[in-house]
Structure 1
């Protein structure tokens, strides 16, 4: 692949005007912002649209203009809830319903922007099925940016492929789809498949996630993916054929840990200080994201598994958001005496921990993760082997792909009871990665992946090629 070219605004006489509009989840907003930064750094004007509270929780970026659109109130949605991390999993569909109410203010924003110069593109997320009709009225093309692996998109497939090969029951999703022409880890075990089956059914927003995605895919001019050929060879050609439009990799969009989320706290500083005097590669960093549907039993089994494993650990534990009217997490969250028994070799931080900085620290040697794509991508930057504990969406599929690549080990799950896990299973997976000889092979494989993917000229070229597509297809 060629080295990165000069900024497009220099080589081709002027930048693009781009509106970027992610779904209301930080796992989406952060990669959308990373894409925005790279476009802005090349001389393109970027307006980043979200709600006021979400924008206040993001780090401003040079050349990226934040555009706040107040989120309408919806019955049942807690006041002030503007992101998926603010609500329990069973209320996320209400957040989609509230987001659908942004159609009028978005149209007003586009109309107000018309006086400056025409917007060249609107880059939207999987759930903005109502944006293309608004964009059409303003003669602005749409692109769909998917923050999931390209294999996830191929698994979902377009409407026509699903009509030709109907999938209605969980077992239908337990094998790769018939349109996948090569062996793949793109399938769900039975205890994982209920979620994906549910995405094809209407939720309390009135629209299924599959319908949202299909409407956008059918009306956008191209799809953009947070991935690359090195990670998913052959997948972009397949997606281009399936969706009958270009599928363009944007690279892995690694965040810079010097500019990580502007949240700060004494607990995050304390957590990083705790790492400073630990031997190199001796600490397991543990983080399951902000949306894992953890029960008290899950948390206790994970804690007791870490205790049994006997390794150093830094656990970024976010207290799950409880459903309104329930008190699932009143009282002590951790097992009695756990912190005292692990004092000195482990620390649990319930405040904000800057994940990329924790992963970048010399003391960190492995990552116990839910295998959300954002966290998995961040692990690539530092060559860490993975202990994998997936829960929802495409996390189990990503975990299987990482296991196949030899960079991680999954915690054993009980498929017969919906995927429970035990402290013994946690301890066995942790020791496999951190203590046993096999862990050295996993670490070596992870290091090779780091060397392959953390190649700045190669990643810059993906953005250059993306901009070339945006220029070529904006007037198609």
Structure 2
């Protein structure tokens, strides 16, 4: 960092997210906001991930530096696999092993930065990097943890001490609020089929360390925790967390693109520079609030049966839809295109009122479009925030991690409904999909969901409020470096 910047009180911050785009993008958004306030940001990842990140605005690029640490080679990990989107679920432990191998390249890079007079004021890290704080300590650099999941999820997981006092060893233990959250709504917990997956996070993987041990260890070795959230979205939850973990908890706001970015030039996803993406052109032809946007993220563990029931449910619901279609993980064989993965004749039968789109979808701009009246989502935290910032009521189809808890929380807030599922295995059918879609898009209930979502939009979309969260975070980073 230049002496002039240091004299002006500007920060030099390193950021190192877990190797998943659902983590990297919020870290990038946080970095952009720091850079917009004049601070220097170094964003660390691996070569392929750095190359795939979206470009930052030109006026921020002088203050944002991207560093690609060499990805370690691990036997059995597919060639070129550098993120969770590159490897099937059964290879995740190998990806974690490779990620642990980034310790040596990181240590060398940090030592070089310090020796070159570019000592960072902070390293902002993800839950995974238990080995990083000791390396930073050697150079006198403090670390902060940045969680991209909701605060309520971490409160539900709980501190190490709470889990030792009240151990949870069966899936049923996760279907009720934990004993350290006596005021947590009883309806906001995991279903049994979700809890089985969650229980695995408490079990050691191939590395010998469980995901929960990683979360606890990083919390114990970092000075405070930042959340992609705000009081308006999770009222009173930050005080609860500060009490549970006995460390400062700093909300950074929702970290969504500014409204001006949404209405910016159409420079991607079309047929050339300046072309308007085809999905937006299709939406332009639809009437206001008439379309449900369907997107289940890039890593939902969908099966062929799931896709069939979802498609037939949309058909039964009889509403207009835009489906950002992704193949299920592991399906890459020839002859497994949309026509093969969806029910026979589905695309032809819904032609005119539905669009199944396999290409790139500018999700934020789609959700901002006046034709969109609701959002059928897997309830990833980022997608949920994007839907609510634009006042879209939700049809919720959660799968893993925090998604079930998010769905129940949003249902309790009256901004949408969950698709009915079998509690034992998580299966759902076309009738459940159609019923949930109709409740939000067609029936009288939908007006209540839409009104509640619009009320939340008013506070989440208040840029002045969001900027204050970032200003408070910068103030904390400046005072306690």
Instruction: Name the TM tier (shorter chain).
Output: over 0.9
Does residue 1:448 correspond to 2:455, yes or no?
yes
Aligned to 2:435: 428
Q: What's the counterpart of residue 133 of structure 1?
A: 134
Which has the larger displacement, 59-68 or 299-308?
A: 59-68
Aligned residue in 2 for 1:393: 401
Q: Residue 310 of structure 1 aligns with which residue? A: 318
Q: Do the aligned residues in 1 keep the contact of 2:128 with 2:211 (CA within 8 Å)?
A: yes
Secondary structure of 1:75's counterpart equals coil
1:211 is matched with 213
Q: 1:42 to 1:12 in 2, by over 3 A?
A: farther
Structure 2 unaligned regions, length at least 5: none
Partner residue, 1:94 = 94
Q: How does 1:285-364 map to 2 (within 5 A)?
A: 285-322=293-330, 332-364=340-372
CA–CA separation in structure 1 for the residues paired with 2:350 and 2:132? 51
Check 1:10–1:120 CA distance in 2 against 1; reply closer, same or farther (3 A cut): closer
**TM-score w.r.t. length of structure 2:** 0.92
The alpha-carbon distance between structure 1 residues 50 and 65, as it changes in their structure 2 partners (threshold 3 A), is: same
In the aligned structure 2, how far is the partner of 1:186 from the partner of 1:128?
Answer: 29
TM-score using structure 1 length:
0.93
User: Who is 1:149 aligned against?
Assistant: 150
| Offset from partner CA, 1:368-418 (integer Å, 9 cap, x none) | 0000000000012210000000000010100000000100111000113x1
Match of 2:108 in 1: 108
Distance 1:373 1:12 in 2: 38
Candidates 177, 194, 197, aligned match of 1:195:
197
Distance 1:252 1:163 in 2: 32
C-alpha displacement at 1:340, in angstroms?
Answer: 0.3
- The answer for the alignment partner of 1:241 in structure 2 is 243
Residues 278-327 of structure 1 deviation map (CA, whole Å, 9 limit, x = unaligned): 10111110000001000000000000000111110000011122089x99
1:186 Cα offset (Å):
4.5
Residue 264 of structure 1: which of 260, 269, 290 is its match? 269
Secondary structure of the equivalent of 1:374? Answer: helix
Q: Call closer, same or farther: CA 1:126–1:327 in 2, change over 3 Å.
A: farther
The equivalent residue for 2:285 is: 277
Deviates more, 1:175-184 or 1:276-285: 175-184
1:406 paired residue number: 414
2:84 equivalent in structure 1: 84
Offset at residue 43 of structure 1 (A): 1.2
- 1:134-182 alpha-carbon deviations (Å, 9 max, x no partner): 1111111110000111001111112111111111111111111111141
2:480 is the counterpart of 1:473: yes
Consecutive unaligned residues in structure 1, runs of 5 or more: 1-8
The change in CA–CA distance for 1:27 and 1:120 in structure 2 (over 3 A counts) is same
* Residue 430 of structure 2 is aligned to residue 415 of structure 1: no
Cα distance change on mapping 1:186 and 1:67 into 2, 3 Å? farther
The residue aligned with 2:161 is: 160
The CA deviation at 1:96 is 1.4
Change (3 A) 1:154 1:403: same
Specify the alignment match of 1:223 in structure 2. 225
Q: SS at the partner of 1:278?
A: coil
Closer, same or farther in 2 for the Cα pair 1:180/1:262, shift >3 Å? farther
Change (3 A) 1:38 1:407: same
Question: Is 2:145–2:225's contact at 8 Å kept on the other side of the alignment?
Answer: yes
Q: Residues 104-154 of structure 1: CA distance to partner in whole angstroms, max 9, x if unpaired?
A: 111111111111232110001111111111111111111000011100111
Measured in 2, the distance between the counterparts of 1:410 and 1:328 equals: 33
Give the direction of change, closer, same or farther, for the CA distance of 1:338–1:444 in structure 2 (3 Å limit): same
Residues 212-246 of structure 1 deviation map (CA, whole Å, 9 limit, x = unaligned): 11110001000000111112122111111111110
What is the aligned-residue RMSD (CA, Å)? 2.2
Specify whether residues 108 and 279 from structure 1 end up closer, same or farther in structure 2 by C-alpha distance, changes over 3 A only: same
Aligned-partner SS, 1:279: coil
Q: 1:3 maps to which residue?
A: none
Paired with 1:472 and 1:142, the residues of 2 have a C-alpha distance of 14
How many residues end up aligned between the 2 structures? 464
Is the alpha carbon distance of 1:101 and 1:265 closer, same or farther for their aligned partners in structure 2, counting shifts above 3 Å? farther
1:41 to 24, 36, 41: 36
Contact 2:31 2:41 (8 Å CA) reproduced: yes
Higher relative contact order (CA 8 A, sep 6+): 1
Is the contact between residue 224 and residue 248 of structure 2 (CA under 8 Å) also seen in structure 1?
Answer: yes
